Structures are given as C-alpha cells and as structure tokens.
C-alpha cells in the first residue's frame, strides 16, 4: 500500500517532448510507472519515448484513461497546464515546474475549488515516489527503498538526504511526497499526513519543514488530536536571520507565526519528536 500513487496509476506527462519532460519520463518509466501518454499541443498523433502524444489533456484522457499527470512545462505555461489537467478530470496533478508567478498560483487555487476531485502537488516540488512501484517527478529512485515510513517535505534536496539516510539504514518508505517550497501550493503537510494516517502500510512519518507560513503548525494541530503514527519533524532555517521586510502588511497578517521556533514548539506540544539536524532523524525512528 501507499498513498496517492502506486503501480496501477495511469500517468501522463504534460510537456513530454521537452528536455526535462523527456529525461524524467524515461526515469519514471524505468521504475515501472505506468506512463500511458504525453501532452504537447501540435504534436498530437505522434509517439514519443514509446507513448502516444496528444494535443490536449482531454484528448489524452479519452484515449488512455489517465488519472494522474506530471507537469514539466516551462513556468509561463505551467499554471494553465494545472488548470487544464483539473478541468479534464485528472485526480492527481504533480507540478514540478519552478518559478510560477504567485498571483497565477492564487488564481489556480481558486480555479481548483471548482474541481474538488483534483489534488495538486506542488508547484516547484520534486514530486512523489512510492518506492518499488511508481513515481511522478524527479526524486531519484536509487535513494529510496520500499517500507513503512511516510516522508513529506517542503525541500527537494533535504528529502533526498533524509531518504537516502533512511534507505542506507535499512528503513524503507511507503511514499515520499515533496510538497514543494512555494508560498502558494497544492497539498499541504496536513493533507498528506491525513492520507498517511489512513494508509495501513505507513507506520511512521517524517516531516521536513521550513521557516515561513503556518503549514507545519497546522499539521502539528492535526497530530495533536491523536495519531497512530510515530512522527519525527525537522525544520530547516532555525538560524536564518529575519528577512528584510518592506512595509507592514506581512507583519500584520502573520504576527509571530512562521518561525522555526514556533513550528518546533507546535510539534513538541503535539508529542512529535523534533530533530535538530537531519542526521538525528534515523536514530529517532528506531
């Protein structure tokens, strides 16, 4: 078992004919991910990397029954690609693209309210992987190992670091989910923890958070209400200096939330073990 993604998920790649899209489609396929097609407007009817290419997501779904999509299109087109996937009926949208303007993502979030079946991961995230089964995105397969630890993270390279330490210690993962580091994104820590909670194959979770926003605090609130999962949290940016703020608007709305201290305290209050360095995590899970 796993969350969100397994070997039966039917995946398309938006931007499959691009450099990044091609590279990672190959990697996704080599792991066994069921990549059933790709989208690249104007290239409909052709074949790329052994899968059919379509002009639109709607066409791709009609022909392949796809239910998940990985988005690798350039930033100026990525917000539109997310909305297209949702409107066409995709239920898991994974947007790897970095650099989407925040105002576009705010509009996308509002658009998605009209498509409650569509879950968005990212943007600006490494995607997700269910070790040994399937992945959408760019998380390297070789640092992962099937198992029962759920890993959810805002940072790409820290995810790799922690995953490879876990794998090296023989501690496998159920699903690794990179939710992305952008201020406005899809699935949150809380959403993913809720899914891990319901997944019988997951017994422990690792959360890798960052300063800024209150998503870690919200996840801690959820865990504080009781969980069957053993949880370890790590927050990066504990010693980062306060940003040079311009104007008061940010301070008015965020108050004291968003600091590493506030996040760590929230987790401790919820009974979650807090790691001060990533090296400590493996030991804490034993």
Partner 1 sequence: MKLLEYQAKEVLASLGIAIPPGEVARTPDEAAWACGRLGPVAVKAQVPVGGRGKAGGIKVARTPDEARRAAEQIIGMDIKGFKVPLVYCEAALEIEREIYLGFTVDRDARANILMLSAKGGMDIEQVADDSPDSIARLYPNPWRGPLDFELTQLVFDAGLGDLARPLMAMIKKLYRAVPDYDALTAEINPLVVTKKGDVVAGDAKLEIDDNAAWRHKDLEQKYGALIEGDPYEVEAKKRGLTYVSLDGDIGIIGNGAGLCMSTLDLVQRAGGRPSNFCDIGGGAKAEVVENALAVILMNPKVKGVVINVFGGITRGDEVAKGIITARDNLNMKLPLVVRLSGTNEEEGREILKRNGIEPGVNAWAAAQKIVELTKSDAPTTAAARGSLPGERGGE
Provide the annotated active-site residues. Answer: 248
By CB under 8 A, residue 250 contacts partner 1: yes
* Angle at which helices 57-64 and 75-88 cross, to 10°: 40
- 3-class SS of residue 260: helix
Contact at 8 Å (CB) between 135 and 160?
no
Q: What binding mask, one character per residue, do residues 25-64 give for partner 1 by CB under 8 A, x or -?
A: --x-------------xx-x----------xxxxx-----
Closest CB to partner 1 among residues 63, 201: 63
Under the binding rule (CB under 8 A), the answer on residue 193 touching partner 1 is no
Give the C-alpha separation, 232 to 273, whole Å.
5
Cβ 28 vs Cβ 198: under 8 Å: no
* Helix (DSSP H) and strand (DSSP E) numbers for the chain: 10, 14
212 is a site residue for partner 1 (CB under 8 A): yes
Distance between CA 222 and CA 216 in Å, rounded? Answer: 10
Contact string 83-122 vs partner 1 (x = CB under 8 A): xx--x-----------xxxxxxxxx-xxx-----------
Three-class SS state of 60: helix
Dihedral in degrees, nearest 10, Cα atoms 66, 183, 214, 255? -160
Residue 237 binds to partner 1 (criterion: CB under 8 A):
yes
Which among 61-69, 127-135, 222-230, 272-280 is the span making contact with partner 1, rule CB under 8 A?
272-280
Rank residues 1 and 251 by Cβ distance to partner 1 and give the closer one: 251
CB 13 within 8 A of CB 21: yes
Q: Does 8 bind partner 1 (CB under 8 A)?
A: no
The count of residues interacting with partner 1 (CB under 8 A) is 80
Q: How far apart are CA 65 and CA 241, in angstroms?
A: 49
Question: Could you say whether residue 142 binds partner 1 (CB under 8 A)?
Answer: yes
Q: Based on CB atoms, which residue is closest to partner 1, 44 or 146? A: 44
CB of 200 to partner 1, least distance (A): 30
Residue 143: DSSP 8-state: G
Closer residue to partner 1 in complex, CB, 116/226: 116
283 near partner 1, judged by CB under 8 A: no
Nearer Cβ to partner 1, position 18 or 148? 18
Nearest to partner 1 of 124, 204 (CB atom): 124
Kindly state whether residue 211 participates in binding partner 1, applying the rule CB under 8 A: yes
H/E element, 231: strand 230-236
Q: Per CB under 8 A, which region of 28-36, 193-201, 208-216, 220-228 contacts partner 1?
A: 208-216
CB 172 within 8 A of CB 149: yes
Residue 253 CB, nearest approach to partner 1 (Å): 5
């Amino acid at each position: 078992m796993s969350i969100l993604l397994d070997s039966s998920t039917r995946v398309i790649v938006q931007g499959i004919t691009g450099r990044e899209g091609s590279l990672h489609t190959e990697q996704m396929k080599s792991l066994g991910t069921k990549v059933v097609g790709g989208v690249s407007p104007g290239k409909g009817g052709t074949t790329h990397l052994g899968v059919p290419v379509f002009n639109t997501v709607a066409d791709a779904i009609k022909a392949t029954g796809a239910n998940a999509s990985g988005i690798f299109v350039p930033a100026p087109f990525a917000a539109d690609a997310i909305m297209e996937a949702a409107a066409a009926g995709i239920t898991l949208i994974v947007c790897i693209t970095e650099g989407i303007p925040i105002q576009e993502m705010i509009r996308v979030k509002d658009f998605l309210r009209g498509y409650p079946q569509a879950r968005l991961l990212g943007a600006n995230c490494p995607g997700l992987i269910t070790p040994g089964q399937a992945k959408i995105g760019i998380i390297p397969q070789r640092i992962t190992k099937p198992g029962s630890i759920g890993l959810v993270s805002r940072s790409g390279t820290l995810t790799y670091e922690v995953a490879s330490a876990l794998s090296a210690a023989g501690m496998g993962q159920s699903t690794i989910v990179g939710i992305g580091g952008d201020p406005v994104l899809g699935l949150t820590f809380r959403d993913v923890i809720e899914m891990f909670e319901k997944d019988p194959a997951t017994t422990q979770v690792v959360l890798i958070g960052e300063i800024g926003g209150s998503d870690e605090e919200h996840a801690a609130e959820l865990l504080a209400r009781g969980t069957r999962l053993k949880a370890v949290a790590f927050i990066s940016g504990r010693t980062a200096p306060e940003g040079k703020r311009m104007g008061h608007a940010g301070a008015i709305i965020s108050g004291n939330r968003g600091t590493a201290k506030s996040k760590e305290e929230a987790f401790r209050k919820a009974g979650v073990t807090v790691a001060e360095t990533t090296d400590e995590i493996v030991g804490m899970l034993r």
